[in-house]
Chain A
Amino acid sequence: MTTSEQIERELTSIISRYHDKVHSELQDRWNNWNIDLEKKEIKEVVCGILSRQVSIVINYSSSPNLWNGDMAPIILRCMADNYINLAWILKGPEERSRKFILHGLGQAKLAMEHRKKQLKNDGHDPEGDSFIRTTEMWINAQRHTFLTEVNLGSWSELNTRKMAEEAGCIDFYNLVYQPFSTASHNMWNHISRYNLIPSDNPLHMFLMKPIVVQHDPELEYLELGAKYLSKMFKLFDETFNHFSKDQSSFKLLSSELNRIFNELNKDDSSTTNTGRN
């Protein structure tokens, strides 16, 4: 077996153990949080957001072709957004969880109306459309569509920066959400570095031409995803006084990755250093 096959096998095993750990961390929080059905919306929203972060990280960590500077920020920014939402909700869980739900229902209603209109324009009967029927049932199960208002603005009625400020995580916004937004929004400062390359022909005045790069996976990006999930668990634990005696999934992943690198460095008779310790 070649070294790279060995690493791949080892990595697959580490990630599988990491997934198990992440699942058990989510279960631990859900199972040990007392249910007060009068405030079920708080639990649904908070754990829904946690579950979303877990789901993202599991899929992301299974996709090495996303662990690069071009693709990873799209996922990581989404995780940062999810974190800021939770941090802001936790500053007023009752009112803000409700707001979060109602905005979501309004958005679903709006999307449904757009689809109805499109179907009518195309000469079809919207009543027979399965998407519309299931969406309507989903909304009605929570709130009658005729009572559901549509809010065209942000769900919190604040921009994300303001939310982060109020939630005490403005540094996370400035250092993570903001820089990764350039990839999610396909801005020039991302595109010019990842999707264009200057022509090497001096006759072309440094004309930037398109390039599609097949990036090698960078484990730092894998770790960042795990770190943002861990950050969210920590926020939950601090807010709800949850104590977990198990080692965190993030620590597990980090120490396992370090182990691989240390072994690699040991095996490598040359002076190459991975820079990790």
Chain B
Amino acid sequence: MKSPKRVLENHTRLGKKLLPPLMNLNLKEISYVQYVIPELIWIAILNKKYGLKKGTELGLELVRLTSTLSLLNNNFSYISSYELLNNSVRKRILTELNHRGVLGPIQDGLFDFVSIYPECPLSFLVDSSTNSKDKLQGLKEILLDLYDKKGATATFMMGNVLYFMGVMGKLRLVKGSPMDNLPELQNYPETLDSRIIASGVRATIFAMIGKNFISASGNWNKYFWKRGIELEPCQI
């Protein structure tokens, strides 16, 4: 007769600790809420204001242009990356966006956000001298949506990052793989294919925002969450 299975049999014992199998791969947990949301929330804000198609186009314009002008190899889907831009590049971005006719919509889309977070690295895009708390309700609604990382708002936000990279030739997808059909994501969560792609999108984003990104990123995400508590203290 087989001996009964021990609980946590697949764990490795190290002294008094039982280590799960994946610990052997030196994995580090990345908090979606803490890191991913502050980095990508601007994409969700544009999507919400203009709808998925136009929001995506505006986001792509900004990311593609900044990637070209900055000469940096950073991913400009992440807000933190904009901390690294010097003033001259920032001015050229504004000029070029204006020239392409997308500066106004981007400014309109991000105005409230930047008013709430005046130290946001994207604040150079918006001429906002107001330091406003009045627009918090809209932001809170988006944040609530984004907390559900499998929800449509979060999925389109993360999907846009991969789309931007694909368009810029910075992401190569295996031909014939589900991810190769990224535009199908717009049907999320209605179709099976879109749900498969969404799963791939999440996995890819988490792989990209790894521990190296977090240690290299600046103060943005700390500021983002600190500012939230400043604006509305958590009291009991």
> A residues near B, CB below 8 A?
199, 201-207, 209-211
Contact = CB atoms under 8 A, between A and B. Distances in A.
B236 A211 contact: yes
A199 B147 contact: no
A206 B234 contact: no
Given A204-B234, A209-B236, 12 more contacts: A199-B234, A201-B140, A201-B234, A202-B144, A203-B231, A204-B228, A205-B33, A205-B34, A205-B228, A207-B229, A209-B234, A210-B236
A205 B140 CA distance: 11
Interface of B: 33-34, 136, 139-140, 143-144, 147, 225, 228-229, 231-232, 234, 236
Shortest Cβ-Cβ A-B pairs, 4 listed = A203-B228, A202-B143, A202-B140, A202-B144
Contacts of B225: 205
A159 to B, nearest CB: 11
19 contacts: A199-B234, A201-B140, A201-B234, A202-B143, A203-B143, A203-B228, A203-B231, A203-B232, A204-B228, A204-B229, A204-B232, A204-B234, A205-B33, A205-B225, A206-B147, A207-B234, A209-B236, A210-B236, A211-B236
Nearest to A211: B236
Contacts of A204: 228-229, 232, 234
A271 to B, nearest CB: 33
B136 A203 contact: yes
A211 B234 CA distance: 12
A201 B139 CA distance: 11
A203 B140 contact: yes
Nearest to A200: B144
Contacts of B228: 201, 203-205
A10 B139 CA distance: 53
Nearest to A207: B234
Nearest to B140: A202
B222 to A, nearest CB: 11
B234 A202 contact: no
A205 B36 CA distance: 12
Contacts of B232: 201, 203-204
A207 B232 CA distance: 12
Contacts of A207: 229, 234
Which of A204, A205, A209 has most chain B Cβ within 10 Å? A205
A263 to B, nearest CB: 41
Contacts of B33: 205-206
A158 to B, nearest CB: 16
Which of B140, B225, B234 has most chain A Cβ within 10 Å? B234
A210 B228 CA distance: 19
B229 A203 contact: yes
A137 B226 CA distance: 61
A259 B200 CA distance: 55
